[in-house]
Amino acid sequence: MQFGFTYHRPASVIELCELLNRYGAKCKILAGGTDLIVDIRAGLKKYDYIVDIKNIPELNELSFSKQKGLSIGAAVTCSQLIEDSTAQKKYHLLCECAETIASYPLRNRATIVGNIVNASPCADTAPGLLCLDAQVLIKSSSGEKTIALKDFFEGVKKVKLAPNEFVSKIIVPPASAEAKGAYMKLKRIKGHDLSLVSVAMAVIKKNIIRVAIASAAPTPVILPDFSKNTKVDEIINVALKTVKPIDDIRSSKDYRLHMIGVYIKRLYEQLIK
Amino acid sequence: MKTITFTVNGQKYTREVEEHKTLLRFLREDISLTGTKEGCGAGECGACTVLLNSKPVNACLVLAVEIDGKEVITIEGIAQDGKLSPLQEAFERHHAIQCGFCTPGMIISAHSLLQRNPNPKREDIQEAIEGNFCRCTGYLQIIEAIEDAAEQLKPKKSKKR
Ligand SMILES: Cc1cc2nc3c(=O)[nH]c(=O)nc-3n(C[C@H](O)[C@H](O)[C@H](O)COP(=O)(O)OP(=O)(O)OC[C@H]3O[C@@H](n4cnc5c(N)ncnc54)[C@H](O)[C@@H]3O)c2cc1C
Ligand code: FES
Ligand code: FES
C-alpha cells in the first residue's frame, strides 16, 4: 500500500512520549496535516506510524498571563489564534501573520506549531514570532527544555528536534505584548498563495526595532535589534547583507532583494516615522 | 483498519476504515456521498470542502479516522426535506454554476460564511471563497448569488433599513 500507515491517537503526553520512544524515526506527528498529508499523498514521505496529537487536552490550550505571556499549544489552529480577542489585542502582529496563511478552511486545520516545525523558508508565522522573541518548549520522556525560535531553525524544513522529542507549545514572552507591528507578504495573486518574500517589523517596548524576513534564506531570518533612532537605510543595508535569497519558480533573487527594501521602507514609515 | 463512529448530515454511522484513507475518499467511496468533489487532492482548490464540527475544512487533507466522534455536513446535507436552501436557490437564479464541479465546495464555504456573518461585505465574501477555485463560471455571479442569499436570509425588520 503506497500510503499505508498505522494511526495512533494518544490521549496524554505520557502516551505520546511512549509512542515516540517506541517508534522513533518510523513515526511522524500529525497536527493539522496540511503539510504532512500533502507530502504523504504526493509520495514524498513515507511513515509506518502516524501519531495524531489533537486529542491531548494540554496541547489544545491557548492562554495568556501577565507573567508568562502567550502560550500556544501544539494543537492550536491558526483560526483559534486569530479568533482569540486577547491574542489580537496583545500580539496583533502574530495574528496578522497567521491571517495570511492559505484559506479559511486551511486555517481551521493548520496549527501555529506545525507551521514552525515544518520550517519552510516561507512559513508565515515565523517573521512575527521571531520579532516577538518566541520560545519553543520541547518535551520528551526524559524532560523538557526551552529554546529560542531563532535557534530552533536549522535549514530548509529542518529544525532542532530529535525523533523522541515533540514541541509542546510556543511561548511569546510578556515583554513583547502590545508591541506595535505589521507584516507585509508579497504574493503572485491576491487570493491564497505562498509568499515570494515577506517582512515583519515590530517596535518592542517602544524603543527597539525588530525586523524578520521569510522566503529570503534557507530559514526565516531575524536581524539584530535596532534602536528606535536607526535610519531606515541602515536597516535595509543590514537586511540585504543578512539574507541569501535564490532564484526559483516563485520569484527571482533580484525581485526578492528589491522588495525587501521596499517593504522595510513601507513598514518603517507606517510604524516609526 | 479502525472502527469509527461519527455523524454525517445528521445520520449516525459506525464503520471500519483504512487508516490512510482521506475523509474525501471515505465519503465518496464508503458512504456513497459523491457530491463532495476531488479537484487537486492537496488543499489548493476547495472542491472537497465540508463542515467538520461546523467548520469548513478541506476533506482531502483530513484522514477519515480523524472524524471519530465528530459531525460532518456535506453538500447533501444543505438541502432540507428535498428543498434547496435559499443559498442554493440563489446560485441557480444567478447562473453561478456552469460545470458545477466547484459548486458543492463553494456552497459549503458560503453557507458557513452566512452562519458566521449574516451581513457580509463583498470583501468578506471574497475572503470566504478564497480557497474555492472556479474554472468556468467566473466569480462575479457566485459573489452576487451569495450577496442575494444574504439579503433573502435577513429578518424582515432589518431589510427596511
Ligand atoms: C493549499 C495550501 C496553502 C498553504 N499556504 C500557506 C501559506 O500561505 N503560508 C504558510 O506559511 N504555510 C502555508 N501552507 C502550509 C501549512 O498549511 C502550514 O505550514 C501549517 O501551519 C502547518 O500546520 P499543520 O498543523 O497542518 O502541520 P502538519 O502537517 O500536521 O505538520 C507539519 C510538520 O510538523 C510536524 N509537527 C507538527 N506538530 C508537531 C509537534 N507539536 N511536534 C513535533 N513535530 C510536529 C509534523 O510531523 C510535520 O512534519 C499551505 C498549505 C497548503 C496545503
Ligand atoms: S481536492 Fe481538496 S482542496 Fe482540492
Ligand atoms: S462551475 Fe465549473 S468550476 Fe466552477
Q: Which amino acid is at B22?
A: T
Pure H helices in B48-133: 86-93, 103-116, 122-128
Residues B43 and B90 grouped into a single domain:
no
Query: How many domains is chain A built from?
Result: 3
Pick the residue of B40, B53, B63, B125 with the most A CBs within 10 A to test the interface with A by mutation.
B63
- Which of A143, A175, A207 delimits the end of a domain? A175
Residue B106 pairs in a beta bridge with: none
When the pLDDT of each residue in chain A is averaged and rounded to a whole number, the result is: 96
Residue B58 included in any domain: yes
Query: How many domains is chain B built from?
Result: 2
Residues B115 and B147 grouped into a single domain:
yes
Closest by Cα among A44, A36, A37, A5 to A23: A5
Is B41 in the A-facing interface, judged by CB distances under 8 Å?
A: yes
pLDDT tens digits for range A87-103: 999 999 999 999 999 99
Portion 69-88 of A in contact with B at CB < 8 A = 79
Q: Is the pTM of this model over 0.95?
A: yes
Question: Of the candidates A41, A79, A103, which has its C-beta nearest B46's C-beta?
Answer: A103
Residues B116 and B90 grouped into a single domain:
yes
- B143: number of Cβ within 10 Å: 19
Residues A155 and A142 grouped into a single domain:
yes
What ligand has the least distance to the C-alpha of A120? 1
Residues B72 and B98 grouped into a single domain:
no
Residues A66 and A167 grouped into a single domain:
yes
Inspect the interface and report whether the beta carbons of B130 and A191 lie closer than 8 Å. Answer: yes
Residues B97 and B116 grouped into a single domain:
yes
Question: Of the candidates A3, A4, A105, which has its C-beta nearest B56's C-beta?
Answer: A105
Portion 47-106 of B in contact with A at CB < 8 A = 49, 52, 55-58, 60-63, 65-66, 68
Using the atom order of ligand 2, give the atom closest to the CA of residue B44: 3
Which residue is closest to A33 within chain B, CA to CA?
B61
User: Predicted ipTM?
Assistant: 0.95
Is B122 in the A-facing interface, judged by CB distances under 8 Å?
A: no
Residue B158 included in any domain: no
Residue A69 scores a pLDDT above 80: yes
Q: Which amino acid is at A156?
A: V
Cβ(B68)–Cβ(B1) below 8 Å: no
Q: List Cα–Cα distances, A54 to A163, A165, B66, B118, in angstroms.
A: 19, 16, 9, 31
Residue A216 included in any domain: yes
What's the confidence (pLDDT) of residue A184?
98
Is B2 in the A-facing interface, judged by CB distances under 8 Å?
A: yes
d(CA B34, CA A270): 50
Residue B160 scores a pLDDT above 60: no
What's the confidence (pLDDT) of residue B157?
61
Residues A61 and A148 grouped into a single domain:
yes
Residue A1 included in any domain: no
Query: Percentage of chain A surpassing pLDDT 90?
Result: 94
- Which of B44, B77, B110 delimits the end of a domain? B77
What's the confidence (pLDDT) of residue B137?
84
d(CA A78, CA B81): 36
The CATH number linked to A206 is 3.30.390.50
Inspect the interface and report whether the beta carbons of A105 and B130 lie closer than 8 Å. Answer: no
Tell me the CA–centroid distance for residue B95 and ligand 2, in Å.
23
Residues B22 and B67 grouped into a single domain:
yes
Rounded average pLDDT over A51-63: 98
User: B58 to chain A nearest CA, in Å?
Assistant: 6
Chain A residues with CB-CB distance to B19 below 8 A: 4-7, 50
pLDDT tens digits for range A1-12: 467 899 999 999
- Which of B59, B77, B95 delimits the end of a domain? B77
Chain B residues with CB-CB distance to A1 below 8 A: 20
What's the confidence (pLDDT) of residue B155?
79
Q: Collect all residues with Cβ–Cβ distance below 8 Å to A58 and sequence separation of at least 6.
A: A13, A73, A168
Residues A75 and A44 grouped into a single domain:
no
Q: What would you measure as the largest C-alpha separation in chain B, in angstroms?
A: 56
Residues A74 and A171 grouped into a single domain:
yes
Q: Where are the beta strands (DSSP E) in A149-232?
A: 153-155, 158-159, 166-172, 180-186, 197-204, 208-214, 221-222, 226-227
pLDDT tens digits for range B104-116: 999 999 999 999 9
Question: Of the candidates A1, A38, A109, which has its C-beta nearest B42's C-beta?
Answer: A38
pLDDT category of residue B161 using cuts at 50, 70 and 90: very low
Residue B161 included in any domain: no
pLDDT tens digits for range A122-181: 999 999 999 999 999 999 999 999 999 999 999 999 999 999 999 999 999 999 999 999
d(CA A206, CA A111): 30
Residues A102 and A170 grouped into a single domain:
yes
Rounded average pLDDT over A6-22: 98
Residues A191 and A232 grouped into a single domain:
yes
Is A1 in the B-facing interface, judged by CB distances under 8 Å?
A: yes
pLDDT tens digits for range A221-268: 999 999 999 999 999 999 999 999 999 999 999 999 999 999 999 999
- Residue numbers of the domain that contains A34: 6-52
User: B57 to chain A nearest CA, in Å?
Assistant: 4
The CATH number linked to A24 is 3.30.43.10
Inspect the interface and report whether the beta carbons of B2 and A104 lie closer than 8 Å. Answer: no
Residues B56 and B108 grouped into a single domain:
no
Chain B residues with CB-CB distance to A101 below 8 A: none
- Residue numbers of the domain that contains B66: 2-77
pLDDT category of residue A18 using cuts at 50, 70 and 90: very high
Residue B140 cell numbers, joined: 462575479
Q: Collect all residues with Cβ–Cβ distance below 8 Å to B76 and sequence separation of at least 6.
A: B9, B33, B35
For B86, counting Cβ atoms within 10 Å of its Cβ (0-12 exposed, 13-18 middle, 19+ buried), the class is middle
Chain A residues with CB-CB distance to B41 below 8 A: 41
Residue B160 included in any domain: no
d(CA A37, CA A252): 29
Residues A147 and A185 grouped into a single domain:
no
The CATH number linked to B42 is 3.10.20.30
Pick the residue of A7, A47, A79, A193 with the most B CBs within 10 A to test the interface with B by mutation.
A7
Q: Which of B37, B40, B101, B129 to mutate to test the pocket of ligand 3 (most atoms within 8 A of CB)?
A: B101
Q: Collect all residues with Cβ–Cβ distance below 8 Å to A198 and sequence separation of at least 6.
A: A100, A122, A124, A127, A183, A184, A185, A186, A213, A214, A215, A263
Residues B33 and B91 grouped into a single domain:
no
Residue B64 scores a pLDDT above 90: yes
Rounded average pLDDT over A58-81: 98
Residue B159 included in any domain: no
What's the confidence (pLDDT) of residue A273?
82
Tell me the CA–centroid distance for residue B42 and ligand 2, in Å.
5
The CATH number linked to B140 is 1.10.150.120
Residues A167 and A191 grouped into a single domain:
no
- Which of B77, B102, B117 delimits the end of a domain? B77
- Burial string for A31-45 (b: 16+ CB within 10 Å, else e) reads bbbbbbbbbbbeeee
pLDDT tens digits for range B134-151: 999 889 999 999 999 999
Residue A267 cell numbers, joined: 513598514
